[in-house]
């Protein structure tokens, strides 16, 4: 490594001076003088950053007259760097004790290592851990204890996140600079990780280094100010897929649902085959978890196989065309497969691979929800079901064969009473009974014999906590919830630090919706690992979502009467308006689970937050007002929402991008409403859903014609119901159309006179409607009333050519 090794730290800035100052101060505090140089590349900041950089004696400045973006700015810094290593560092990072020393130790631990990165609190691709600290002092204290060099904590990865990426200068000289086609940013770190891997070098995650990361503060500012940012986000994903001729997500995928199914001692030499292994991300993580494992794979897309030989023996092929001389029989402990790796998984497929499993080997299958029940019913007759896990739109199931384990029906099924039941439990613990047999006995448990069982375990069993936990899990699986908590509570009384007890208590309480109590138990686990960190993070997210969107108030924003905001004044004086808007987003929330959504004219952002809380995968929230978006970002932002400025008739998205488009109180503001309806159809996928609302001119502007200015001067036009439907059916099939805030049609003077002449009650009201307030009601259920607002649910029409 030489006597003195210098690292060139390259930091890009675009405004956010206070973050930059914290970053530089932490480098000076925790990095040995003489071992580094700081190169600051400023992309035309306007907040005093440029002047501050000029005042720094220990900084090499590169001051651009325009924003050149992240990749090009990094390349400018690399070109003037004199160090042996290049460190790409975000300006919203705070470094910590021994951060650089530990990273360098890993970087030069092996000639095959090309780049390294640390853990943090905010990053994607499982590079973040959940850490509790409230200020800099607590951060530094935690990091000082955490940052102890430990080679056993270094793990190979397919990708490192670019917020802090240390690279050997020789590697950069070999593979070249960052690819500037990804300007202004996003996916340049994916690209560079792939290039390092393709050149034959490893990417290492140093789990013995922790630094703080606020999280893309410059890009957050750009998200609002530049309406093409989100378009580039989508385009850059397409660019990297086209560049390497594969699906990036398939290349990088680490399936943690599958990993949780592998319960083995860390030191065991397990043999694993994954069919449809992608770029090997899951296999690589298995190797990190079980260093002595022997890994094998099969993948039909050879483009994603980049130097996987370093950790696995991967063959090219699919399920059906496999040459079965590849592997020995009775060899694998686990065979992993998923529907995405081939057209289908069925009993015939399983039988082909069954002979390659060891006698007690297991299948782990990842299968779509829609196919799961039929798949389960078929396999449970021929295999031993060992575990199940529900994921998003997927189910993971682990099951074993009856190889060398076929037994006659024994007297175990004739065991009666609680002692006979427990004899079966003991045999199961020794691997002599399968899960289907034990279910027969667990189904006999009830409130009357539960205490007898507990007493028996306490008196006779040495491993009572393990056994009671096992029974509790089995009871939980068959939904005997009232028996589960007493067993787990008894285990907790025996040992309040037992890992299995705490995690089972947490899972059960989470199922019951007791998120805070669930979090309390999971946080009592002393072992630190990614699985627990992820559970804690998910629980905190659920707790946050428990707070109603209406609890978040923008009391510093004035309600003008046109753009609704949620604050104390609105709740007190305009509660009817608030209810109308919330009810519309409640309706839309029923259609967005697991969908990519466009919230067009999102306004203050509360509706986008409601859609996020309802399970949308990603939401692009567009509004023409920069001020609204700034307030929305401040009050309602989360990882799934991207706020961006734009005109709904000139949106920067490609055709067929969205599953759902939501457009409330938008069309009346547009000079050509039919143009927006056509644009919404362009953006939607086939059978996509368009949810749109508008005032009903018959009620809001009675007596006026379509081409006359509405009373509300913000509105270009207002539609009556027939006109509104007429515009929609040009592009859509109507699923349903709702009314909101109904008025009695028979209240005008002329109608009252005519009813009196016919001796009808002139004061008659529509009682059903008057009791509904501002709830949305399908027009198919309404007679004799006209809604003030109309909401349509539409499905994109498939036009025949």
pLDDT band at 682 (very low <50, low <70, confident <90, very high): very high
Tell me if 519 sits within 8 A of 512, measured CB to CB: no
pLDDT of residue 132: 84
Is 423 inside any structural domain? no
The mean-pLDDT minimum among 599-603, 647-651, 666-670 falls in 647-651
458-467: list long-range contacts, CB under 8 Å, 24+ apart: 460/422, 463/429, 464/494, 465/491, 465/494, 465/495, 465/498, 465/500, 465/501, 466/429, 466/500, 467/425, 467/429
Q: What is the mean pLDDT of the chain?
A: 83
Residue 525, in any domain of the structure:
no
Q: Is residue 529 part of a domain?
A: no
Ranges 36-50, 470-484, 487-501, 663-677, most confident: 36-50
pLDDT (0 to 100) of residue 342: 43
- Which whole number is the average pLDDT over 620-631? 90
Per the domain annotation, does 682 fall within a domain? yes
Q: Are residues 206 and 316 in the same domain?
A: no
In this structure, the answer to whether residues 272 and 186 fall within a common structural domain is no
Claim to verify: residue 234 and residue 255 sit in the same structural domain: no
* Res 453 pLDDT > 80: no
Query: Per-residue pLDDT tens for 165-175?
Result: 999 999 999 99
754 to each of 241, 699, 757, 767, how far by Cα in Å? 71, 21, 5, 21
User: Is the per-residue pLDDT at 558 higher than 90?
Assistant: no
Domain boundary among 204, 221, 244: 244
Domain limit, last residue, from 210, 244, 278: 244
- Average confidence (pLDDT) over 151-180: 96
Measure the CA–CA gap between 167 and 151, rounded to whole angstroms: 18
Q: Is the peptide bond before 184 cis (omega within 30 degrees of 0)?
A: yes
CA–CA distance, 778 with 355 (Å, rounded to integer) = 58
Q: What is the CATH number of the domain that holds 671?
A: 3.40.50.150
pLDDT, average across residues 375-394: 70
Residue 131 falls inside a structural domain = yes
Residues 512-526 have pLDDT tens digits of 667 778 888 888 987
Length of the chain as a residue count: 801
Give the domain extent around 263.
251-400
Residue 771, pLDDT > 50, answer no
pLDDT in tens, 304-327: 999 999 999 998 887 666 655 568
Do 152 and 269 lie in one domain? The reply is no
Q: Is 631 in the same domain as 736?
A: yes
In eight-state DSSP terms, residue 251 is H
Q: Give 276-300 pLDDT, tens digit per residue.
A: 899 999 999 999 999 999 999 988 8
CA atoms within 13 A on the CB side of 734: 18
In this model, does residue 145 exceed pLDDT 90?
A: yes
| pLDDT at residue 411 tops 60 | no
Whether residue 655 has pLDDT greater than 80: yes
Q: How confident is the model at residue 647, as a pLDDT?
A: 87
**Residue holding tokens 């069954």?**
354
- Residue 403: what pLDDT? 55
| Cβ 600 vs Cβ 621: under 8 Å | no
Round to whole Å and give the CA distance between 293 and 276. 19
Query: What's the pLDDT band for 409 if we cut at 50, 70, 90?
Result: very low
Whole-number pLDDT of residue 752: 56
What sign has the CA pseudo-torsion 290, 296, 298, 301?
Answer: positive
Higher pLDDT pick, 644 / 398: 644
| Choice among 260-274, 326-340, 401-415, 650-664 with the minimum mean pLDDT | 401-415
What letter would DSSP give residue 709? P
pLDDT band at 116 (very low <50, low <70, confident <90, very high): very high
Average pLDDT over residues 189-211: 97
Q: Give percent of the chain with pLDDT exceeding 70.
A: 82
Most confident option among 361-370, 540-549, 747-756: 361-370
Q: Where are the alpha helices (DSSP H) in 574-622?
A: 575-589, 606-613
Q: What is the mean pLDDT of residues 465-489?
A: 83
Long-range contacts of 498-505 (CB under 8 A, 24+ apart): 498/465, 498/469, 499/525, 499/527, 500/465, 500/466, 500/469, 501/465, 501/469, 503/532, 503/535, 504/469, 504/472, 504/473, 504/476
Residue 361 sits in the same domain as residue 222:
no
Judged against a pLDDT cut of 80, whether residue 531 lies above it is answered with: no
Verify that 257 and 240 share a domain, yes or no. Answer: no
The DSSP secondary-structure symbol of 430 reads T
Number of domains in the chain: 3
Domain's final residue, options 197, 220, 244:
244
**Residue 592, strand partner residues:** none
Asked if 200 and 121 touch (Cβ cutoff 8 Å), the reply is: no
Q: What is the pLDDT of residue 21?
A: 96
Q: Distance between CA 738 and CA 727 in Å, rounded?
A: 16
Give the pLDDT score at 1: 44
- With bands split at pLDDT 50, 70 and 90, how would you rate the model's confidence at 417? very low
For 688-701, give the DSSP string: EEEEEEEEBHHHHS
For the four alpha carbons of 344, 350, 356 and 362, in that order, the dihedral sign comes to positive
pLDDT over 50 at 660, yes or no: yes
**Which tops the pLDDT comparison, 342 or 669?**
669
Least confident piece of the model among 198-207, 237-246, 745-754: 745-754
Question: What one-character-per-residue DSSP string does 214-241 give?
Answer: ---HHHHHHHHH-TTHHHHHHHHHHHHH
Q: What is the pLDDT of residue 406?
A: 39
pLDDT digits (tens, 9 = 90+) for 569-614: 888 888 888 888 988 998 998 899 889 999 999 999 999 999 998 8
238, 268: one domain: no
pLDDT band for 413, please (50, 70, 90 cuts).
Answer: very low
Query: Would you say residue 523 lies in a domain?
Result: no
Question: Between 590 and 145, whose confidence is greater?
Answer: 145
Say yes or no to pLDDT of 801 above 70: no
Say whether pLDDT at 751 is over 70: no
Q: Which of 377, 415, 381 is nearest to 401 (CA)?
A: 381
pTM of the model: 0.54
* pLDDT for residue 311: 94
Domain for residue 393, yes or no? Answer: yes
Most confident of 76-80, 349-353, 722-726: 76-80
Among 53-62, 380-389, 655-664, 751-760, name the one with the lowest average pLDDT. 751-760
Residue 325 gets which letter from DSSP?
T
- Average pLDDT of span 423-450: 64
One domain, residues 175 and 148: yes
Question: Does the pLDDT at position 430 exceed 60?
Answer: no
Mean pLDDT of 620-643: 90
Q: What is the token pair recorded at 326? A: 């590849």
State the Rg of the chain over Cα. Answer: 31
| Same domain as 574, residue 719 | yes
* DSSP-derived secondary structure for 440-455: HHHTT--HHHHHHHHH
Q: 567 with 649, same domain?
A: yes
Instruction: Output the domain CATH number for residue 46.
Output: 3.90.550.10
In a domain, 418, yes or no: no
pLDDT confidence of residue 85:
97
Q: In this structure, are 229 and 318 located in the same domain?
A: no
Instruction: Give the pLDDT band (50/70/90) at residue 422.
Output: low
């Amino acid at each position: 490594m030489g006597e003195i090794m210098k690292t060139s730290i390259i930091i890009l800035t675009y405004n956010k001076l206070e973050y930059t100052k914290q970053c530089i101060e932490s480098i000076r505090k925790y990095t040995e003088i003489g071992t580094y140089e700081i190169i600051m590349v400023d992309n035309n900041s306007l907040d005093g950053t440029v002047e501050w950089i000029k005042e720094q004696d220990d900084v090499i400045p590169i001051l651009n007259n325009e924003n050149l973006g992240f990749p090009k700015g990094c390349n400018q810094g690399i070109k003037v760097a004199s160090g042996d290593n290049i460190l790409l560092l975000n300006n919203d990072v705070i470094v910590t004790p021994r951060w650089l020393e530990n990273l360098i130790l890993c970087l030069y631990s092996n000639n095959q290592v090309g780049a390294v990165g640390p853990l943090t609190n905010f990053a994607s691709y499982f590079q973040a851990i959940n850490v509790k600290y409230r200020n800099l002092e607590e951060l530094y204290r935690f990091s000082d204890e955490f940052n102890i060099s430990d080679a056993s904590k270094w793990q190979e990865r397919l990708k490192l996140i670019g917020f802090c990426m240390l690279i050997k200068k020789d590697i950069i000289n070999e593979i070249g600079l960052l690819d500037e086609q990804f300007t202004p940013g996003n996916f340049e770190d994916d690209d560079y990780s792939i290039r390092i891997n393709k050149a034959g070098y490893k990417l290492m995650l140093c789990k013995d280094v922790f630094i703080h990361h606020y999280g893309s503060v410059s890009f957050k500012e750009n998200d609002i100010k530049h309406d093409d940012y989100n378009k580039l986000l989508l385009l850059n994903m397409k660019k990297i897929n086209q560049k390497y001729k594969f699906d990036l997500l398939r290349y990088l995928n680490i399936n943690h649902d599958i990993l949780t199914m592998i319960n083995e001692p860390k030191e065991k030499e397990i043999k694993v085959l994954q069919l449809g292994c992608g770029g090997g991300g899951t296999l690589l993580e298995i190797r990190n978890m079980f260093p002595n494992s022997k890994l094998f794979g099969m993948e039909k897309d050879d483009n994603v196989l980049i130097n996987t030989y370093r950790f696995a023996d991967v063959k090219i092929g699919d399920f059906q065309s496999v040459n079965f001389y590849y592997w020995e029989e009775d060899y694998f402990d686990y065979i992993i497969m998923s529907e995405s790796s081939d057209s289908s998984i069925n009993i015939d497929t399983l039988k082909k691979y069954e002979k390659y499993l060891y006698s007690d080997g297991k299948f782990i299958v990842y299968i779509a929800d829609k196919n799961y029940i039929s798949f389960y019913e078929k396999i449970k007759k021929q295999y031993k079901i060992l575990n199940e896990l529900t994921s998003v739109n997927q189910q993971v199931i682990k099951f074993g064969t009856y190889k060398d384990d076929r037994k006659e029906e024994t007297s175990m099924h004739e065991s009666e009473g609680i002692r006979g039941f427990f004899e079966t439990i003991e045999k199961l613990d020794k691997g002599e009974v399968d899960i289907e047999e034990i279910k027969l006995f667990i189904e006999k448990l009830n409130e009357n014999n539960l205490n007898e069982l507990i007493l028996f375990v306490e008196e006779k069993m040495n491993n009572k906590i393990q056994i009671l936990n096992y029974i509790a899990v089995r009871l939980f699986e068959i939904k005997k919830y009232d028996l589960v908590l007493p067993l787990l509570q008894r285990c907790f009384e025996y040992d309040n630090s037992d890992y299995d007890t705490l995690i089972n208590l947490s899972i059960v309480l989470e199922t019951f919706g007791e998120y805070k109590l669930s979090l309390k138990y999971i946080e009592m686990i002393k072992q630190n690992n990614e699985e627990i960190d992820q559970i804690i993070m998910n629980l905190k997210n659920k707790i946050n979502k428990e707070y109603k969107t209406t609890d978040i108030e923008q009391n510093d924003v004035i309600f003008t009467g046109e753009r609704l905001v949620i604050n104390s004044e609105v709740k007190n004086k305009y509660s009817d308006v608030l209810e109308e808007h919330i009810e519309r987003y409640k309706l839309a929330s029923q259609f967005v689970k697991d969908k990519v959504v466009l919230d067009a004219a999102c306004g203050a952002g509360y509706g986008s937050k409601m859609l996020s809380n309802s399970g949308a995968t990603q939401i692009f929230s567009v509004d023409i007002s920069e001020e609204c978006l700034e307030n929305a970002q401040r009050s309602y932002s989360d990882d799934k929402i991207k706020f961006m400025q734009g005109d709904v008739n000139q949106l920067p998205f490609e055709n067929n991008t969205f599953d759902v488009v939501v457009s409330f109180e938008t069309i009346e503001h547009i000079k050509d409403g039919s143009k927006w309806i056509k644009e919404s159809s362009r953006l939607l996928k086939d059978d996509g859903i368009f949810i749109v609302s508008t005032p009903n001119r018959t009620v809001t502007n009675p007596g006026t014609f379509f081409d006359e200015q509405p009373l509300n001067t913000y509105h270009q036009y207002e539609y009556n119901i027939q006109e509104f439907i007429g515009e929609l059916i040009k592009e859509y099939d109507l699923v349903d159309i709702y009314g909101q805030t109904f008025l009695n049609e028979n209240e005008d003077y002329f109608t009252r006179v005519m009813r009196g002449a016919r001796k009808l009650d002139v004061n008659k009201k529509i009682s059903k409607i008057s009791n509904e307030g501002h709830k949305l009601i399908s027009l198919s259920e309404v007679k004799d009333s006209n809604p003030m607002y109309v909401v349509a649910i539409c499905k994109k029409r498939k036009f025949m050519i």
